Structure 1
Amino acid sequence: MEKEEERILRNLGWKGKGLIMSAYDAETNGHPHMDNPDDRKKEGSLRFYKPKFSYIFCDMDGTLLNSNSQITSTTAKALREASSRGVKVVIATGKTRPAVISALKMADLSGKDAIISEFSPGVFLQGLLVYGRQGREIFRRNLDPNVCREAFLYSLEHKIPLIAFSEDRCLTLFDHPLVDSLHTVYHEPKAEVIPSVELLLASVDIQKLIFLDTTEGVANTLRPYWAGATRDRATVVQAVPDMLEIVPPGSSKGSGVTMLLDHLGVTAKEIMAIGDGENDVEMLELASLGIALSNGSEKAKAVADVIGASNDEDGVADAIYRYAF
């Protein structure tokens, strides 16, 4: 492509460098990621630039999705453009795979040869379910059933909704508007109401739990209590302020990404990661370039190489056009 550009420019009497060679020079002579941080590539121009990364690992809530839990047309266009240049976009999220497929379908980004499908690699449920080549499961880790039992008894006693995540299913003990919002707003599968704790625990293996409450309720009551109650049997983590997740100890999105990279034969030097939450910290630390969006948690921003635009300012698109090429 460089030779073709050179021929065209020569015929036009142009004596300087073309876009392709200028991009190559920038990559060679400066820092590979941040040589010209203000040099945002224009939409539609990525075909003139060499990708700096083989993979982009991207979070969903608060990152790829804006505050309305939607992907904007600008972000969708950036993802398609990066993908057309051979950069593989992999989702790393606390969501189920069906939730991701549902959310991306709205932007025409799901299906065969799109960003996500049932045949795509990906990291789901905070790294507790990892799918490799052809979308086949390569890792699964379950939560201690005793922790699950205690959490559901607490949910019943305090009337605080709790959701169990089991692969592609969501289960709960009672209906609640916040439970409905997990489906209507966050695209998760509609929660199945199970009549008793013991029946629920006997019917599925649970990877993680989510308490749904107000931001204040999570910060002031749920998180302090469950950080102590789980002891070394589980870990609490937050992706959004009004939800508290309980996951197996030592698990993280970053460990799931590491496992997937090993499976794919890819090194961390080949990836850029974009996230916003404390659950993205290990992934951002692992990547060659970790970008935390400006709407993100202080923990995520503290470990990031770059602080990007917010999710309501097309932060993922901005990161792709600034740093990925």
Structure 2
Amino acid sequence: MDGTLLNSKSQISETNAKALKEASSRGVKVVIATGKARPAALAILKTVDLAGKDGIASEYSPGVFIQCFEGLLVYGTQGREIHRRNLDRDICREAFHYSLEHNVPLVAFSENRCLTLFNHPLVDSLHTIYYEPKAEVMASVDQLLSTGDVQKLLFRDTVEMVAGTLRPYWSEATAGRASIVQALPDMLEIMPLGSSKGSGIRILLDHFGATADEVMAIGDGENDIEMLELASLGIALSNGSEKTKAVANIIGLRHSQQ
């Protein structure tokens, strides 16, 4: 959703909302595939009357969530969970100790909850700007890890810090154990190894007995590459990463122009 469907204010434009409603009215099945938790996605869709019984998504509709390079939570018929991937607990422990030592904000996504070790404006902005569940502050790393399974971790810092320090460090530290990706320049995400948006969509297609020939996918970030490669028609937005645009069949307008 971020950078594709939403503008810089995390809002769905009137034009985009109208296009989604029109597609749905013509029988096109619109499926949200996003790094957001399901409550966050539904909250944003609700602002333009796209969530709920008459919208394109609800708690009873299919979708792929917490999925910025993964497919970590996939929901099928009647919104029932059909697939889940969890991040290795040792990696979670290492990352949160790093967060404390270097005072770098880090959030764990645990199904419909967000967990962290200390308050920080960048953590708060995940809720106030990006609609994610408000992060719950845990007293210790052990308490956080005992709360539930973690599907992904998200570091937040300056663009320069993420690109120059966090990404090189964690790419090396998790080599062969996890996947590293940036959906947005000021965020770094750590996910289970070997999964992608493409794998999440493929699981959903198998669930419904559909094929990739029936799919058009739209994205902008590194996390969308596998999804665009899977779809028979992959569309990258002009504001997207160069790697993403390189695999697309069509380059569309940037989200602020839609």
TM-score normalised according to structure 1 size: 0.78
> RMSD over aligned Cα, in angstroms?
0.6
Q: Which residue of 2 aligns with 1:206?
A: 150
Q: Tell me how far 1:304 sits from its aligned partner.
A: 0.3
Distance in 2, matches of 1:161 and 1:78, equals 37
Q: Secondary structure at the match of 1:115?
A: coil
Q: Which amino acid aligns with 2:100?
A: L
Q: 2:219 aligns with which of 258, 262, 275?
A: 275
Q: Give 3-state SS (helix, strand or coil) of 1:91's partner.
A: coil
Query: What SS does structure 1 have at the residue aligned with 2:180?
Result: strand
| Deviations, residues 239-281 of structure 1 (Å, cap 9, x unaligned) | 1110000000001111000000000111000010000000000
Matched, 1:93 2:34: yes
Aligned to 1:304: 248
- SS of 2:31's partner is strand
Aligned counterparts of 1:62 and 1:153: Cα–Cα separation in 2: 31
Structure-to-structure mapping, 1:1-325, within 5 angstroms: 60-126=1-67, 127-314=71-258
Distance 1:235 1:261 in 2: 23
Q: Partners of 1:104 and 1:200 in 2: how far apart? A: 30
Give the letter aligned to residue 296 of structure 1: G
Identity of aligned residues (%): 73
The alignment partner of 1:307 has SS state of strand
Separation of aligned partners in 1, 2:244 and 2:57: 25
Q: Aligned AA for 1:284?
A: L
Distance 1:159 1:253 in 2: 30
What is the Cα deviation at residue 224 of structure 1? 0.2
* AA of the residue aligned to 2:43: S
How far apart, in 2, do the equivalents of 1:78 and 1:143 lie? 36
- In the TM superposition, residue 113 of structure 1 has moved relative to its aligned partner by 3.0
1:286 to partner: Cα distance: 0.4
Q: Distance in 2 between matches of 1:79 and 1:98?
A: 19
Q: Deviations over 1:163-202 (max 9, x none)?
A: 0000000000000000000000001000000010011011
- The 1-side partners of 2:207 and 2:135 are apart by 32
AA of the residue aligned to 1:76:
A
Residue 79 of structure 1 aligns to a residue whose secondary structure is: helix
Kindly provide the amino acid, as one letter, of the partner of residue 174 in structure 2: T
Q: Which runs of 5+ in 1 are unaligned?
A: 1-59, 315-325
Greater RCO (Cα-Cα under 8 Å, separation 6 or more):
1
d(CA) in 2 for partners of 1:265, 1:238: 32
C-alpha deviations, 1:7-34, integer Å up to 9, x for none? xxxxxxxxxxxxxxxxxxxxxxxxxxxx
Give how far 1:125 is off: 1.0
After superposition, what is the alpha-carbon deviation per residue over 1:202-252, rounded to whole angstroms, capped at 9, x for unaligned?
Answer: 111000000000111100000000000012111101111100000000011
In 1: Cα distance, 2:164 partner to 2:228 partner: 27
Distance of 2:200 and 2:219 partners within structure 1: 15
Q: Which runs of 4+ in 1 moved over 3 A?
A: none
Distance 2:146 2:15 in 1: 45
Taking the aligned partners of 2:218 and 2:195, their CA distance within structure 1 comes to: 19
Structure 2 unaligned residues grouped into runs of 5+: none
